[in-house]
Amino acid sequence: MLQRSVLVSCCRHECTWHESLQKKRSTVCGGKRQEVTQSDRKQFCLKRTGGNMQIYFCGSIRGGRDDLQLYRRIVTELQRYGRVLSEHVADADLSDAGEDDPAEGDQAIHDRDVSWLRQSDVVVAEVTQPSLGVGYELGRVVDMKKKVLCLFRPSSGRRLSAMIRGAADGKCFMVKDYNEEDVEKVLEQFFSSLSRT
Ligand SMILES: O=c1[nH]c(=O)n([C@H]2C[C@H](O)[C@@H](COP(=O)(O)O)O2)cc1CO
């Protein structure tokens, strides 16, 4: 069996197995059959993205903190792919009052976040809990022509705003309906699709 380092550098074949793998499967690479695991696949994603992407995560704060635990899970997973600029969104100590204190108040929060959005390579948003701030961030980022993934859970019983679902263009702006238990897989598919573009 080939070593992982060889495996990840063999991109001509990787694109095929990378997409189709669910857990453990064998594939033909460089003429040799080999076993490829889920962790190999993640490793591959990381190598292809360099693991140094700048990622902006959007999640509700003043709109309500009901999904905080899920935000934590998403941010932890995103950190496998790069640096999460807005890590504080998943901070358990941050309540629906929002960040307190920057001397310049809400304007400082706004200006910092817009600057982080500009700096980011990709934006991932959990949009199930409606939030004015998240909607605003997504609107700004559309104009910046960044890659955006919006994650929505139909199991919430909510219906996503037409201004988010209707913005999906299948290229830059993506909306994905998902179940919480699949979040890691969904992110992996998103980052592997980036590595092919
Ligand atoms: O204190 C804050 N810090 C902050 O970074 N934000 C940004 C990041 C979140 O993705 C988004 C949340 O907006 P909202 O608070 O309207 O739910 O806005 C929002 C607030 C409070 O509105």
Query: How do residues 6-42 score in pLDDT, each as one tens digit?
Result: 233 233 333 333 333 333 333 433 444 445 555 555 5
* Closest protein CA for atom 18 of ligand 1: 133
Give the separation between CA 161 and CA 158, rounded to whole angstroms.
9
Please write down the long-range contacts of 139-147, taking CB distance under 8 Å and 24 or more positions apart. Answer: 140/114, 141/56, 141/117, 142/167, 142/172, 142/173, 144/117, 144/118, 145/172, 146/117, 146/120, 146/121, 146/122, 146/172, 147/121, 147/122, 147/123, 147/172, 147/174, 147/194
Average pLDDT over residues 149-167: 98
Looking at residue 153, its pLDDT comes to 98
**What's the 70 CA to ligand 1 centre distance in angstroms?**
16
**What's the 17 CA to ligand 1 centre distance in angstroms?**
39
Query: How do residues 97-152 score in pLDDT, each as one tens digit?
Result: 999 866 678 999 999 999 999 999 999 999 999 999 999 999 999 999 999 999 99
Average pLDDT over residues 154-160: 98
62 is in an annotated binding site: yes
Query: How do residues 76-112 score in pLDDT, each as one tens digit?
Result: 999 999 999 999 999 999 999 999 866 678 999 999 9
Contact 24, 36 (CB under 8 A): yes
136 is in an annotated binding site: no
Q: Report the pocket of ligand 1 as residue ranges, CB < 6 Å.
A: 58-63, 86, 89, 98-99, 109, 113, 131-134, 137
Query: How do residues 44-60 score in pLDDT, each as one tens digit?
Result: 555 555 578 999 999 99
Whole-angstrom CA distances from 164 to 20, 22, 179 are: 29, 29, 18
**What's the 86 CA to ligand 1 centre distance in angstroms?**
10
Check residue 14 and report its DSSP letter: H
Looking at residue 1, its pLDDT comes to 33
Looking at residue 44, its pLDDT comes to 53
Looking at residue 23, its pLDDT comes to 33
This prediction has a pTM of 0.79
Beta strands in the chain (DSSP E): 25-29, 32-36, 53-58, 82-84, 122-126, 147-152, 173-177
User: Going from the N-terminus, what domains does the chain have, and what CATH number goes with each?
Assistant: 54-195 (3.40.50.450)
**What's the 134 CA to ligand 1 centre distance in angstroms?**
7
What is the chain's alpha carbon radius of gyration, rounded to the nearest angstrom?
18
* Closest protein CA for atom 2 of ligand 1: 98
Looking at residue 100, its pLDDT comes to 81
Nearest to 44 by CA among 183, 151, 147, 196: 196
Task: Give bridge partners of residue 33 from the DSSP assignment.
Answer: 28
